[in-house]
């Protein structure tokens, strides 16, 4: 099972790569596998502000639309322009399939996210 231990995880299947007061956010390999065949990603606007747990993006698979929640509170500083090819979410969920970057308003929230081991326990 592909769950890098360099990342933190939300119960709703998003990952965050935390670097000081910024975080890169995407969905997990497990999530992309459950969604399958991603055909569109509706990304947030740069400058949008989210509290942890708020809907920040929407992913459409062939079958249905799914909400993606911001794992942490903060302001969007960048979105992934490469997702004009939405299949990157399926092929490289933890890499080129990243969705947006946040400037964190409360970096201490990261402590509430799961470790790789805890997330593996959740999805097993």
* 122 lines the binding site for other proteins (CB under 8 A): no
Figure out which of the listed residues 1, 4, 36, 51 binds other proteins, where binding follows CB under 8 A: 36
User: Residue 58 burial (CB < 10 Å; 0-12/13-18/19+)?
Assistant: middle
* 60 lines the binding site for other proteins (CB under 8 A): yes
Figure out which of the listed residues 5, 19, 21, 37 binds other proteins, where binding follows CB under 8 A: 37
Residue closer to other proteins by CB (options 92, 116) is 92
Chain positions 73 to 92 lying near other proteins, rule: CB under 8 A, are 84
Q: Which stretch binds other proteins (CB under 8 A): 16-24, 37-45, 75-83, 98-106?
A: 37-45
* 64 lines the binding site for other proteins (CB under 8 A): yes
């Amino acid at each position: 099972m592909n769950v890098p231990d360099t990342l933190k995880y939300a119960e709703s299947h998003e990952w965050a790569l935390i670097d000081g007061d910024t975080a890169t956010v995407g969905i997990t390999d497990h999530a992309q596998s459950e969604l399958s065949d991603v055909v569109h990603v509706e990304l947030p606007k740069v400058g949008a502000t989210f509290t942890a747990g708020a809907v920040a993006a929407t992913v459409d698979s062939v079958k249905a639309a799914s909400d993606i929640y911001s794992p942490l509170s903060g302001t969007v500083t960048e979105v992934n322009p490469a997702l004009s090819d939405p299949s990157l979410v399926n092929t490289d969920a933890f890499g080129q399939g990243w969705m947006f970057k946040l400037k964190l308003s409360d970096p201490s929230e990261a402590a509430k996210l799961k470790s790789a081991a805890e997330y593996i326990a959740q999805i097993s």
